[in-house]
Structure 1
């Protein structure tokens, strides 16, 4: 009986390890993405009933333009980049270039004038050209391209 119990315990232990392996691999991939960024967005929190994340940003001109869509278009407002600003999610869109930096990832946020829009991730610290932020969640549903975040 004890040999059967030992064999059964070993089988369950191996099955548990095999089941945990994919999640460990996914966690490792996510950690590598954040490490490759260098300055990823912070953890999610609630701000005025919305889930947001603070992201370190910058601007060579002293202000970050907020566009009406992730296809560039019209500037609807600006963000003062002193420190970090909050963003809802990220989505791909038109390529945007500032100096030697370029990116086709955009982050949904609210400009300082309270208008919703998108900021090119070329204004995010860390990461390389055309690289998404290592920590910002992707837009889904109503928060996607042209949409607004849900409460």
Structure 2
């Protein structure tokens, strides 16, 4: 009789575990169709310049353009050091670089006589194609 009770308990435990596992898989955000790649290196607030953010970038001498469009004139290039100070992000023209593509652009702050410039988010570290940076507000 004790063996029958334990067998029913084990079967019941397996049944509950199976239901819990199935529910967990169905509710997991990683398995839903709206799931997106995680931004592994979001931009972070710049403590020295309130209202701006520091974004890790890859590449050097990346073109900064007058408008968020790959056909806009180049007005500067990214600084050395792997970080770019920005204000926000905005949708713009589709930029491509090899297998990468993006319609999101970051906007740099105007400084002195230098006006704001735009860089494609292709060159931000982390994220995926056409995925906005999780650390930045929209312009």
Task: Give 1 or 2: higher helix fraction.
Answer: 1
| Deviation for aligned residue 1:101 | 1.0
* Contact kept in structure 2, 1:76 and 1:115, CA below 8 Å: no
- Tell whether 2:132 aligns with 1:132: yes
Which structure 2 segments of 5+ residues have no match? 1-34
The aligned runs of 1:15-94 (5 Å cut-off) are 36-43=38-45, 45=47, 47=49, 51-59=51-59, 62-72=60-70, 73-94=72-93
Question: Number of aligned pairs?
Answer: 103
CA RMSD of aligned residues (A): 2.5
TM-score (norm 2): 0.65
Task: Give 1 or 2: higher strand fraction.
Answer: 1
TM-score (norm 1): 0.60
Distance in 2, Cα, partners of 1:134 & 1:39: 9
Secondary structure of 2:108 counterpart:
strand
Are the structure 2 counterparts of residues 121 and 111 from structure 1 closer, same or farther at C-alpha, using a change threshold of 3 Å? farther
Which structure 1 segments of 5+ residues have no match? 1-31, 140-151
